[in-house]
Amino acid sequence: MELTRLYKNAAIATVFGFGVMALAPTAQAEKFITIGTGGQTGVYSQVGGAICKLVNRRTKKHDIKCTHTTGGSTKNINGIRAGNLNMGVAQSDWQYHGYHGTAPKQFPKGAFKALRAVFSVHPEPFTVVARADSGIKSFDDLKGKRVNVGDPGSGQRGTMEVLMGKMGWKMSDFALASELKSSEQSAALCDNKVDAMVFTVGHPNGSIKEASTSCDSVIVKVDNAVVRKLASDNDYYAMATIPGGMYKGTPKDVTTFGVGATFVSSTATSADTVYQIVKAVFDNIKRFRKMHPAFAHLKPKHMIVNNLSAPLHEGALRYYKEKGWK
């Protein structure tokens, strides 16, 4: 009897199958996206983590699941170009160079015209931290010292190389030019393996706090005629101030220059996907601001304009127009 019923049900399903399929809602497959960020002690990792948390809270609504991985500005842009990443965090200067192809060492394939801006995030001063006993008082004093110039492919390394080029310096001008990752450099400084480290990062930063509390260290100024000309000649740079008292050993404001952290994608990522990512962030901007101190003062009206040199992604623009911001 049971077997007969099964065959009968099967027959009904066969006869009406196409009709049922046409009427029943189709379950949409989940779409996985990967965001390229930076070292775990930097703010880029926090940006990616915060965005993914907000996106994944709404997975049931938009079927998008978000993950993030370490990388660095130029690595992230090249990863997006290669199709290994959907989106990434990048310094504003490397967004510019990636789109225009004006940094052949970092972007050997030339201009990446499919690169798209999504929004900007926090300001990132170029920060030099030195051992207090090193005799280093400013960027100019780094010559002849042991310096961590940054991990190849990172924004900090790229910006360091740009400034060195303008100063007429070479790596051989340092007693040691180490290439440690951002997560390794504070320990190296306090273990007396390097005299100074450079970092392009939002503040406050955990790595710099580690260096300032684990050993006697100071943040030194990056302010001379070369730096000021670099900032005035390029819209993606600006003079910046690191507030005094934020870190032990540095009670007074420190003058430097800096960039902005930006969030980028490419035309290969669909407008619908980017729209949902942008919506997840800006619909929850108050929550986003609380996810890291560097985000505390972010304002949408600035985030959709500042430090963006590539064209806006179609999906981001759609959301901004809906909100009446564009």
> What's the confidence (pLDDT) of residue 29?
62
Kindly give the pairing relationship between strand 254-266 and strand 31-36: unpaired
User: Is 60 exceeded by the pLDDT of residue 15?
Assistant: no
| φ, ψ of residue 172 in degrees (nearest 5) | -70, -10
Residue 316 has pLDDT above 70, yes or no: yes
Contacts of 44 (CB under 8 A, 6+ apart): 37, 38, 72, 89, 261
- List, for residues 246-293, the tens digit of each pLDDT value: 999 999 999 999 999 999 999 999 999 999 999 999 999 999 999 999
CATH for 124-259? 3.40.190.10
Query: Is the pLDDT confidence value at 318 over 50?
Result: yes
CA 17 – CA 10 distance, rounded (Å): 10
Question: What's the pLDDT tens digit per position in 168-224?
Answer: 999 999 999 999 998 899 999 999 999 999 999 889 998 899 999 999 999 999 999
pLDDT at 28: 54
Percent of the chain with pLDDT over 90: 79
Q: For the chain, what are the domain ranges?
A: 32-122+260-322, 124-259
Tell which CATH architecture fits domain 32-122+260-322: 3-Layer(aba) Sandwich (3.40)
Label residues 278-297 b or e (16+ Cβ within 10 Å = b).
Answer: bbbbbebeeebbebbbbbee
Q: Are 31 and 67 in contact (CB under 8 A)?
A: no
Q: What is the mean pLDDT of the chain?
A: 90
Residue pair 269/114 in contact (Cβ under 8 Å)? The answer is no
**Do the Cβ atoms of 60 and 45 come closer than 8 Å?**
no
Distance from C-alpha of 125 to C-alpha of 222, rounded to nearest angstrom: 10
Whether the predicted pLDDT of 7 surpasses 80: no
pLDDT at 41 (0 to 100): 76
> What pTM was estimated for this model as a whole?
0.80
Q: Quick one: pLDDT band at residue 5, thresholds 50, 70, 90?
A: very low
Average pLDDT over residues 293-302: 92
Look at residue 26 and tell me whether its pLDDT is greater than 70: no
- Choose the weakest-confidence range: 2-11, 47-56, 306-315: 2-11
- Fold agreement (32-122+260-322, 124-259): yes
Confidence category of residue 18, pLDDT binned at 50, 70, 90: very low
